[in-house]
Amino acid sequence: MLLSMTGFGQATGNYKNKKITIELRSLNGKTSDLRMKIPPNYKEKEIQLRNTILKKAYRGKIEGTITIDSEEGDDEFGLNKPLFKKYYAELKDLQSELQFEEGDFLTAILRIQNVIKPFNSTLDEEEGEMIIALAEEAVKALNIFREKEAVAMNNDLNYQISSIETKLNDVVPFEEGRIKNVRERMIKNLEEFKGSQKVDQNRFEQEIIFYLEKLDINEEKVRLSQHCKFFKEVLHTQEPMKGKKLGFIAQEMGREINTLGAKAQESNIQQLVVGMKDELEKIKEQVANII
């Protein structure tokens, strides 16, 4: 199972004369970051809501919103008249004292916290259980959305890994000629050098062997092949959180590809390495959006 970091989930339920909706939106994030907009009378359930959502939403920047629509219109909320009158009287006194224009006092006061308040500020047990159940439904819908979003990503990652493996296999035909060309180039340089310097032929042969061993790319090929295989194994596991692990594997692949390019000493192999690097950058971009 592969999950994209981005997604949307919604759950709706009815309680008495109210329609309650929970919406969750997620974006890329290195860690779990949940921000909730909750009606005042649900605040006592905030910790439980957060734990319920984060337990199954796993990772990402998540925004959660709870909205309430009453079948009785605005009967769910009312004006705190004593508080409104208090603010208005104080503002009028201040306006009279400082002689500034009155302005729109009404709109300003209505924006002050607790001036508009829910009539029923207490939350009964049944309604509390219902919003937790709705949160679980919303997370489930979020992850279904994420899984659908990840289908194309999964296909792309499989293609890109297979492309790297194909290019790695294409290196083989150029290896024998690569060593031969390096050896011939060294011998040619030696012949030009012999005219003015005495050279120990045995020592020279030893240096060639040492140099060619340093240019050997077999270990890099084996390790890169193993990393590609491991990447595909992790990609196809059922664990939901694997984005970071895939990112670590991609980093190791990058190290082997870079070393392969540094040791190549052959234009065709270097071209293949450039192709591998291009595919690896695409992989890194995709992995950054996986949970």
What mean pLDDT do residues 87-103 have? 78
pLDDT digits (tens, 9 = 90+) for 277-288: 999 999 999 999
Q: How far is Cα 280 from Cα 276, in angstroms, rounded to an integer?
A: 6
pLDDT of 45: 92
Contact 174, 221 (CB under 8 A): no
Amino acid at 245: K
Q: Among the residues of the chain, which ranges form H helices?
A: 46-57, 81-98, 105-110, 125-170, 172-194, 201-214, 218-235, 243-263, 267-287
- Going along the chain from its start, the domains and CATH numbers come out as 7-75+124-145 (3.30.230), 81-114 (no CATH), 150-287 (no CATH)
Cα 139 from Cα 151, distance rounded (Å) = 19
Q: In what order do the strands lie in the sheet with 7-15?
A: 7-15, 18-27, 60-70, 32-37
Check if the beta carbon of residue 139 is closer than 8 Å to that of residue 52.
Answer: yes
Write the pLDDT tens digit of every residue in 101-155.
Answer: 766 777 888 777 677 666 555 678 899 999 999 999 999 999 999 999 999 999 9
Residue 23: how many other CB atoms lie within 10 Å: 18
Q: Which residues pair with 4 in a beta bridge?
A: 290
Residues 24 and 140: their CA atoms lie apart, in Å, by: 10
Round to whole Å and give the CA distance between 176 and 38: 68
pTM tops 0.75, yes or no: no
